């Protein structure tokens, strides 16, 4: 059997077990790859079910995983299947199964009154006389797949198109500015299309895209970070009267060392969207390599485990250091990066993140 045929059987067996676990629930697979119309319209499976004494027939479409664009295609197919099914003895319910279904896809299915099930145990049956909704998180294994877009070079692509909203951009522009390959840029933007985060104009080499759902990107990225460890950072103490003076010293030291840097977290958020009356620490990223070491040397930064006022977040490549605005002579990370870093912070960081999001990211 092909791999997806095995996965499809696992999905159908899981659905049968989930229904059988309901009060007075029974279910069985009545057929696979069933032709519903003479012209070849096929449904992946038909499942007969009995729930609390009511008989149902589920017309099932199966996918590996599902984003909004995937389920919109499936909705059309299921509606077409439903139009050719007339079971007078049982209520017929269009149904969708996948290993994992994204939050946006789940919302579309609920709006369209399409039943769904995934391997995390989520089960939704919107029959008028037999309504069932068990909401479970996306399975951890598939959650990693959904979150891959927020890691490594793909994350830089998402950052770049977010920063350029609402402009139309090409794959070439994004690849050059994010310092990634055209294949990485194209693949990431295509995945954003599946999630309906970007809209498209044109085709082929002249194809353009622009961000159309910034709030959905922010929500999805925040959900992803909730299960991630905060980035590693090194702690230093630098003699200075306050955080503002420290930021000025950092700028001079990095300038003398020719080291690209960007201040983030509380210090940057305060510059973009003032919220706190004061702050005492500066977090930043500095390009990795000898320039970074020289900048810290010129700054007379002393490594400490406690009492630090400068944190240098670990970076692996030049592309990890992106500058948004320069305010009062200080290079700040882009507002989106500042927001993400605040989400993984402590104390008032999450309150600052919410304020920054409202003031700078949701427009």
Domain C-terminal end among 138, 171, 193 = 138
For residues 97-106, average pLDDT: 90
Residue 133 has pLDDT above 50, yes or no: yes
Q: Are residues 245 and 314 in the same domain?
A: yes
The secondary structure of 240-258 as a DSSP string is: -SSHHHHHHHHHHHHHHHT
pLDDT in tens, 3-19: 556 688 889 999 999 99
Share the mean pLDDT of the chain: 89
Q: Are residues 278 and 326 in the same domain?
A: yes
For residues 272-281, average pLDDT: 88
- Structural domain boundaries enclosing 189: 142-225
Q: Are residues 118 and 163 in the same domain?
A: no
pLDDT in tens, 22-39: 988 999 999 888 776 656
State residue 129's pLDDT score: 81
Q: Are residues 340 and 242 in the same domain?
A: yes
Q: Are residues 357 and 240 in the same domain?
A: yes
Q: Are residues 166 and 241 in the same domain?
A: no
State residue 278's pLDDT score: 81
231 prior amide bond cis, ω within 30: no
Name the nearest CA neighbour of 194 among 74, 66, 103, 288.
Answer: 66
Q: Enter the DSSP assignment of 360.
A: I
Domain C-terminal end among 203, 225, 247 = 225
> In this structure, what CATH number is given to the domain that contains residue 191?
1.10.10.10
Q: Are residues 318 and 349 in the same domain?
A: yes
| CA gap 285, 304 in Å, rounded | 18
Q: Are residues 304 and 254 in the same domain?
A: yes
Least confident stretch, 37-41, 124-128, 346-350: 37-41
Q: Are residues 93 and 32 in the same domain?
A: yes
Domain C-terminal end among 199, 225, 251 = 225
Q: Are residues 331 and 352 in the same domain?
A: yes
Residue 87 has pLDDT above 80, yes or no: no
pLDDT in tens, 207-220: 999 999 999 999 99
State residue 65's pLDDT score: 81
Residue 143 has pLDDT above 70, yes or no: no
Name the nearest CA neighbour of 57 among 48, 65, 66.
Answer: 48
Q: Rounded to the nearest 10 degrees, what angle do helices 182-194 and 152-163 cross at?
A: 70
Q: How many domains does the chain have?
A: 3
> In this structure, what CATH number is given to the domain that contains residue 105?
3.40.1350
Q: Which residues lie below 8 Å from residue 185, measured CB to CB, with a gap of 6+?
A: 157, 171, 174, 175, 178
Query: What are the distances in angstroms from CA 100 to CA 4, 39, 135, 285?
Result: 14, 31, 12, 35
pLDDT in tens, 64-77: 888 888 888 888 88
State residue 1's pLDDT score: 36
State residue 183's pLDDT score: 93
pLDDT in tens, 218-246: 999 998 898 888 989 999 999 998 999 99
State residue 144's pLDDT score: 65
Structural element, H or E, at residue 73: helix 68-83
Q: Are residues 120 and 178 in the same domain?
A: no
For residues 94-107, average pLDDT: 91
State residue 36's pLDDT score: 67
Residue 256 has pLDDT above 70, yes or no: yes
pLDDT band per the 50, 70, 90 thresholds, residue 2: very low
For residues 312-331, average pLDDT: 90
Q: Are residues 129 and 113 in the same domain?
A: yes
Query: What are the distances in angstroms from CA 152 to CA 43, 158, 185, 192, 235?
Result: 38, 10, 12, 16, 24
Strands (E), the chain: 25-35, 42-51, 54-66, 91-101, 115-118, 123-127, 130-134, 198-201, 208-211, 233-237, 261-264, 282-286, 302-303, 310-313, 323-327, 330-333
pLDDT band per the 50, 70, 90 thresholds, residue 147: confident
């Amino acid at each position: 059997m092909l791999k997806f045929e095995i996965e499809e059987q696992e999905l159908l067996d899981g659905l049968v077990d989930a229904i059988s676990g309901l009060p007075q629930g029974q279910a069985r697979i009545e057929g696979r790859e069933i032709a519903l119309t003479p012209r070849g319209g096929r449904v992946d499976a038909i499942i007969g079910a009995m729930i609390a004494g009511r008989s149902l027939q589920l017309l099932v479409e199966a996918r590996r995983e599902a984003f909004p664009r995937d389920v919109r295609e499936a909705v059309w197919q299921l509606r077409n299947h439903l139009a050719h099914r007339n079971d007078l003895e049982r209520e017929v319910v269009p149904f969708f199964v996948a290993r994992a279904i994204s939050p946006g896809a789940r919302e579309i299915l609920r709006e369209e009154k399409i039943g769904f099930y995934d391997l995390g145990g989520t089960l939704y049956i919107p029959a008028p006389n037999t309504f069932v909704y068990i909401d479970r998180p996306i399975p951890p294994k598939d959650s990693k797949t959904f979150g891959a877009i927020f890691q490594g070079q793909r994350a830089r692509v998402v950052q770049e198109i977010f920063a350029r909203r609402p402009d139309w951009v090409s794959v070439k522009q994004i690849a050059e500015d994010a310092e990634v390959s055209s294949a990485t840029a194209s693949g990431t933007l295509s995945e954003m299309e599946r999630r309906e985060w970007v809209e498209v104009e044109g085709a082929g080499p002249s194809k353009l895209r622009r961000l159309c759902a910034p709030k959905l990107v922010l929500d999805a990225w925040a959900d992803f970070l909730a299960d991630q460890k905060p980035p590693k950072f090194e702690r230093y103490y630098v003699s200075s009267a306050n955080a503002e003076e420290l930021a000025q010293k950092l700028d001079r030291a990095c300038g003398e060392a020719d080291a690209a840097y960007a201040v983030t977290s509380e210090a940057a958020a305060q510059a973009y969207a003032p919220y706190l009356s004061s702050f005492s620490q500066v977090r930043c990223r500095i390009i990795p390599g000898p320039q970074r070491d020289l900048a810290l040397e010129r700054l007379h930064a002393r490594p400490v485990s406690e009492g630090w006022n400068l944190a240098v977040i670990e970076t692996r490549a030049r592309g990890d250091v992106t500058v948004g605005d320069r305010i009062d002579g200080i290079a700040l990370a882009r507002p989106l990066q500042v927001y993400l870093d605040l989400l993984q912070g402590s104390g008032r960081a999450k309150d600052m993140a919410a304020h920054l999001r409202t003031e700078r990211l949701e427009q």
